[in-house]
């Protein structure tokens, strides 16, 4: 139990009558890299701001190390934030920026100087002490923002889309940098992003959010391979989501054809959503396929070909394969049982949310 | 929460501070006594007399005409100047923006006497034209400063794209550039119009005998006592603007809200 | 290149206008300031600022405009902060507070304060009713300061508002996050970041206050003369344009200093009025 550092309990928050978070409950463990992932407006940034102390929830409590910090102002919390677009103090030098928190705490000059050196080294920017923030590139400013936060030795570092303003190459470099920092510092990272690739690369745990609800919590592998609902399946990577009918345990009917699968407990003759990842759709000779269709689209993507196969009922299957099937050719489709992911259809919007109880 | 109440009180005090004289003037316009110090009972007579007072009506006509003409001319000159300044290299831009700032930062009295002196040297007869020229001079910077920020956010590629698609220079300007900078042009025009109406100091030095705007007329009457008709006229102007502002603020807001929802 | 040339040509009316009615007139003031009636070079006009009655009115103007600027600053800063906090996207409050009153003639508005501030005026009547001590400030320097603050407050609020509105909310949050309390955040972050706006606001209030002749005329009675009143009289009563120009040149020294200061602090024009 002691490994749970932050506990958000039944948090509800609305702005101007619009509910942004609805009865959200979430644990964050010590030393974990936890990512809040979701489209804009899903409530992920609000969740982070509530942890940071910049918003107070309408309902619910925030526990930190077992203590209630719901109403504690940000300057009294043992955590630090790396803001979107860095939020550096433009009227101060890099050294003054990094020293800001330490000076407020009344640390000695030699302690502060040591810390500045250490932090700049950590983010690979030694020698930048006397530069002004405006003379730094976006990536460099981002590192300074991180340095400014970590010199205060927070137990938790909150990161609000910190790489959002950087270009792709820099973003990928910074992802490795962040993982390295996290391992060196041994502290908890709570990371907010809408970029699923970023989340899959860096996280220990991903929290997928939509419309103020948590959709699924799990490791990157689990989220990717076993999405709990159509939203998660659609949001994480490409996927084919088709209507199916659960005939009985381990047998599902898709477009009139019965497929063996490994899921059970859905009941008999029950409509379900079926998720099949594009790389799990196998193309074979037409007479060997469980379904047949025509290749209607072909793009070479480097590591694989991306194809669209249209079945007679008009559905376009997205297929990733290393074998090329030219446009116009008729192909068969097969799917291995363990690659078929069955999900309940959401009965209402409320049920779309997965209430997390432990 | 007490902070919130304190803030509201503070805003309220500032509103009272800004509007106390305006309320006073509105009250005076209904005061049947000619004295500012005494309340002689409620009357509409100044509003009626107002339209028979030829000198006030002439001053009003001059004020509105000068405001309208100077706002139009300075909007045209200023907007064209923005296009030119925007096309300049950094150095030229800095110099011209510096010159633009002179009438804004300079003391009105210095601007007034400098214009007076140049009109004397040029041998121009003081009157309507000299006031108009003076007003255009101090209005252009307001136009430039409200159009310029819009111009800067303008993507130059849209103009080039229009040319690329076969539009002529002027067609591209009127169809592509102008609609984009329009909000700046309109606010510049309104700013110029307002500044012209409210100006006294510069008009004071550039007007000739016999030509008055409302401001100079009021100033000349300060010593002998202001005619209550002036209060009535000012009240009418103020209420008109108030109503116009209210109407303008109503309509587009609803459209915006509909869009965001 | 030719496209650019056409664009530069569009500025011609403005180049001409600025040269004829902004630059040249200023040189005329210099010319009149350093010549006498016969056109001979002289520094007497400028030197006459040292005359007791002139230097006295200059000092009084400096004194009153500094007091007004300080009061404007102290009133405007909290106001601008409140407006930024609550008025985001609601510029109509600003318009209502500061643009709309302009549609009541400024001479009349200032005159109205005379009615309100008079010894038997409305404010004293209210004070009497509340059994508070009465104020006797009409026709004193205090009334002039009052009028200056009233007329020039918007020039302080708008630049402050603009520079406060430009501060990224997360910069304030970052300071709080790093342990600063509200007071520390204000003095270490907010105030330093708004220096361009502050300098611009000070200039915008100080220059018109220093050079006014209308407010002193309307609220100070005819007896209190500021340097603006002296210059105005040289032009409209005595018709000694040379002396008036000479004194204006002295005034322009202050104006130029203000312009330079605000240009140094406000490189990108971020604290500007519009």
Structure confidence by residue, pLDDT tens digits, A157-187: 999 998 887 888 888 888 888 898 888 888 9
C176–A53 C-beta distance less than 8 A: yes
Query: How large is the average pLDDT for residues A139-144?
Result: 91
| Neighbors of chain C with 3 or more C-beta pairs under 8 Å | A, B
**Phi then psi dihedrals of residue C227, to 5 deg:** -60, -30
Count structural domains, chain C: 1
Nearest CA in chain A to C178: A101
Percentage of chain C beyond pLDDT 70 is 93
Q: Is the pLDDT of residue A284 over 70?
A: yes
User: What band does A355 get if pLDDT is binned at 50, 70 and 90?
Assistant: very low
A84 lies in some domain = yes
Tokens of B197: 């109406």
A31 lies in some domain = yes
Q: Quick one: pLDDT at residue C272?
A: 47
The reply to whether A20 and A111 lie within a common domain is yes
Which structural domain, as residue segments, surrounds residue C236?
Answer: 49-265
Which of these, A168, A170, A157, lies nearest to A124 by C-alpha position? A170
Q: Is the pLDDT of residue C258 over 90?
A: no
C210–B109 C-beta distance less than 8 A: no
Q: Quick one: pLDDT at residue B224?
A: 80
Q: Is the pLDDT of residue A352 over 80?
A: no
Query: How large is the average pLDDT for residues C231-235?
Result: 92
C140 lies in some domain = yes
Q: Quick one: pLDDT at residue C3?
A: 65
Percentage of chain A beyond pLDDT 70 is 96
Q: Is the pLDDT of residue A88 over 90?
A: yes
Query: How large is the average pLDDT for residues C55-84?
Result: 95
User: What band does C90 get if pLDDT is binned at 50, 70 and 90?
Assistant: low
Q: Quick one: pLDDT at residue B35?
A: 75
Does chain A reach chain B with at least 3 CB pairs under 8 Å?
A: no
User: C32 touching B, CB under 8 A?
Assistant: yes
Count structural domains, chain A: 2
Q: Quick one: pLDDT at residue B255?
A: 42
Please count the other Cβ atoms lying within 10 Å of the Cβ belonging to residue A235: 22
- Predicted confidence (pLDDT) per residue in A208-266, tens digit: 999 889 999 999 999 998 888 889 988 888 889 999 999 999 999 999 899 999 988 88
C120 against C32, higher pLDDT:
C32
| Neighbors of chain A with 3 or more C-beta pairs under 8 Å | C
Which structural domain, as residue segments, surrounds residue A72?
Answer: 4-225
Q: Quick one: pLDDT at residue A59?
A: 93
With contacts defined as CB-CB under 8 Å, which chain A residues touch C193? Answer: 89-91
C193–A104 C-beta distance less than 8 A: no
Query: Who contacts A52 (Cβ-Cβ below 8 Å, separation ≥6)?
Result: A74, A77, A79, A81, A158, C173, C177
A357 lies in some domain = no
With contacts defined as CB-CB under 8 Å, which chain A residues touch C191? Answer: none
For residue A74, what is the domain's CATH number?
Answer: 3.40.50.300
Q: Quick one: pLDDT at residue B261?
A: 31
For residue C169, what is the domain's CATH number?
Answer: 1.10.3720.10
The reply to whether A125 and A167 lie within a common domain is yes
**Cβ atoms B176, B107 nearer than 8 A:** no
**Cβ atoms B180, B150 nearer than 8 A:** yes
C63 lies in some domain = yes
A324 lies in some domain = yes
The reply to whether A49 and A185 lie within a common domain is yes
The reply to whether A8 and A148 lie within a common domain is yes
For residue A255, what is the domain's CATH number?
Answer: 2.40.50.140
**Cβ atoms C110, C215 nearer than 8 A:** yes
Residue spans of beta strands (DSSP E) within A163-250: 188-193, 205-210, 213-218, 240-248
Q: Quick one: pLDDT at residue A1?
A: 42
User: C40 touching B, CB under 8 A?
Assistant: no
- To the nearest whole angstrom, how far is the Cα of C181 from the nearest Cα of chain A? 6
Q: Quick one: pLDDT at residue B38?
A: 75
Q: Is the pLDDT of residue A354 over 60?
A: no
Name the C residues in 157-176 with CB < 8 Å from any A CB: 168, 170-171, 173-176
Q: Quick one: pLDDT at residue A347?
A: 60
Q: Quick one: pLDDT at residue C145?
A: 95
DSSP 3-state of C3:
helix
Regarding the domain delimited by B2-260, which CATH topology (the fold level of the hierarchy) does it fall under? MetI-like fold (1.10.3720)
Low-confidence ranges of chain B (pLDDT < 50): 253-261
Query: How large is the average pLDDT for residues C51-64?
Result: 94
Query: How large is the average pLDDT for residues A308-322?
Result: 92
C231 lies in some domain = yes
With contacts defined as CB-CB under 8 Å, which chain C residues touch A75? Answer: 176-181
The reply to whether A74 and A126 lie within a common domain is yes
Q: Where are the domains of chain B?
A: 2-260
- To the nearest whole angstrom, how far is the Cα of C211 from the nearest Cα of chain B? 6
CA-CA distance, A294 to A277, in Å (whole number)?
19
Query: Who contacts A220 (Cβ-Cβ below 8 Å, separation ≥6)?
Result: A199, A200, A201, A203, A206
With contacts defined as CB-CB under 8 Å, which chain B residues touch C121? Answer: 37
The CA angle B219-B220-B225, to the nearest 5 degrees, is: 90
Q: Is the pLDDT of residue A267 over 90?
A: no
Q: Quick one: pLDDT at residue A51?
A: 94
- Predicted confidence (pLDDT) per residue in A25-59, tens digit: 999 999 999 999 999 889 999 999 999 999 999 99
A355 lies in some domain = no
């Amino acid at each position: 139990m002691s490994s749970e550092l932050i506990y958000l309990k039944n948090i509800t928050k609305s702005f101007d009558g619009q509910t942004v978070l609805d009865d959200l409950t979430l644990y964050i463990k010590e030393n974990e890299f936890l990512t809040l992932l979701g489209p804009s407006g899903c409530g992920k940034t609000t969740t982070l701001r509530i942890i940071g102390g910049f918003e107070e929830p309408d309902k619910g409590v925030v526990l930190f190390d077992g203590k209630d910090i719901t109403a504690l102002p940000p300057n009294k919390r043992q955590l630090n934030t790396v803001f979107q677009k860095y939020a550096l103090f433009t009227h101060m030098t890099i050294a003054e920026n990094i020293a800001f928190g330490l000076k407020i705490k009344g640390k000695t000059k030699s302690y502060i100087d040591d810390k500045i050196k250490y932090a700049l080294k950590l983010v690979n920017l030694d020698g930048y002490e006397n530069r002004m923030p405006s003379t730094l590139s976006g990536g460099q400013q981002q590192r300074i923002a991180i340095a400014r936060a970590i010199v205060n030795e927070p137990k938790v570092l909150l990161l609000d889309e910190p790489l959002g303003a950087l270009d792709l190459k820099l973003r990928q470099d910074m992802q490795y940098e962040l993982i390295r920092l996290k391992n060196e510092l041994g502290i908890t990272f709570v990371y907010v992003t809408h970029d699923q690739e970023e989340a899959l690369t860096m996280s220990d745990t991903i929290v997928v959010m939509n419309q103020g609800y948590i959709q699924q919590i799990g490791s990157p592998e689990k989220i990717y391979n076993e999405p709990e609902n159509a939203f998660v399946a659609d949001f994480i990577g490409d996927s084919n989501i088709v209507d199916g009918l659960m005939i009985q345990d381990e047998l599902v009917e898709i477009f009139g054809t019965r497929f063996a699968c490994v899921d059970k407990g859905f009941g008999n003759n029950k409509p379900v959503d079926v998720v099949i990842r594009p790389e799990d759709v196998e193309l074979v000779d037409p007479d060997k396929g469980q379904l047949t269709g025509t290749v209607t689209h072909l793009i070479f993507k480097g590591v694989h070909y991306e194809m669209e196969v249209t079945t007679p009922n008009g559905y376009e299957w997205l297929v990733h394969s290393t074998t090329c099937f030219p446009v116009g050719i008729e192909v068969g489709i097969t799917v291995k049982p363990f690659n078929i992911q069955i999900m309940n259809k959401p009965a209402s919007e409320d049920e779309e949310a997965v209430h997390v109880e432990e | 929460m007490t902070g919130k109440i304190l803030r509201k009180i503070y805003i309220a005090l500032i509103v009272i501070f800004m509007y106390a004289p305006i309320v006073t003037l509105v009250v005076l316009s209904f005061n049947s006594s000619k004295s500012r110090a005494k309340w002689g009972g409620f009357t509409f007579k100044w509003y009626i007399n107002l339209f028979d007072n030829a000198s006030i009506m002439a001053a009003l006509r001059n004020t509105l005409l000068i405001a309208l003409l100077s706002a139009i001319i300075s909007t045209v000159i200023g907007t064209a100047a923005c296009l030119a300044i925007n096309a300049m290299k950094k150095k030229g831009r800095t110099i011209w923006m510096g010159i633009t700032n002179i009438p804004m930062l300079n003391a009105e009295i210095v601007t007034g006497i400098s214009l007076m002196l140049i009109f004397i040297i040029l041998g121009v007869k003081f009157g309507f034209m000299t006031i108009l020229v003076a007003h255009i001079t101090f209005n252009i910077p307001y136009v430039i400063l409200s159009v310029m920020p819009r111009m800067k956010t303008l993507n130059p590629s849209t103009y080039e794209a229009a040319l690329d698609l076969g539009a002529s220079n002027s067609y591209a300007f009127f169809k592509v550039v102008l609609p984009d900078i329009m909000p700046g042009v309109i606010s510049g025009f309104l700013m110029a119009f307002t500044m012209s109406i409210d100006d006294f100091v510069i008009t004071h030095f550039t007007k000739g005998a016999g030509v008055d705007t409302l401001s100079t007329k009021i100033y000349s009457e300060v010593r002998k006592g202001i005619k209550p008709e002036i209060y009535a006229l000012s009240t009418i102007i103020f209420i008109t603007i108030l109503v116009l502002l209210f109407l303008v603020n109503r309509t587009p807001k609803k459209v915006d809200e509909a869009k965001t929802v | 290149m030719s496209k650019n040339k056409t664009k530069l040509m569009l500025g011609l009316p403005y180049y001409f206008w600025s040269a004829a009615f902004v630059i040249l007139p200023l040189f005329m003031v210099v010319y009149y300031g350093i010549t006498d009636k016969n056109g001979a070079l002289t520094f007497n006009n400028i030197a006459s600022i040292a005359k007791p009655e002139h230097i006295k009115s200059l000092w009084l103007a400096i004194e009153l405009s500094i007091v007004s600027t300080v009061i404007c600053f102290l009133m405007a800063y909290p106001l601008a902060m409140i407006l930024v906090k609550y008025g985001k996207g609601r510029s109509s409050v600003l318009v209502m507070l500061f643009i709309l009153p302009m549609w009541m003639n400024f001479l009349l508005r200032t005159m109205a304060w005379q009615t309100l501030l008079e010894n038997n005026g409305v404010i004293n009547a209210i004070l009497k009713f509340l059994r508070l001590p009465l104020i006797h400030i009409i026709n004193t320097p205090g009334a002039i300061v009052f009028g200056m603050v009233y007329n020039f407050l918007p020039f302080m609020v708008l630049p402050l508002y603009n520079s406060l509105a430009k501060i990224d909310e997360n910069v304030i949050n970052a300071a709080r996050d790093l342990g600063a309390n509200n007071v520390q955040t204000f003095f270490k972050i907010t105030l330093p970041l708004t220096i361009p706006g502050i300098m611009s606001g000070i200039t915008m209030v100080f220059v018109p206050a220093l050079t006014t002749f209308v407010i002193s005329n309307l609220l100070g009675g005819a007896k209190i003369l500021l340097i603006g009143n002296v210059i105005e009289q040289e032009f409209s009563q005595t018709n000694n344009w040379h002396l008036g120009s000479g004194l204006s040149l002295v005034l322009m020294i202050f104006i130029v200093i203000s312009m330079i200061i605000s240009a140094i602090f406000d490189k990108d024009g971020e604290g500007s009025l519009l």
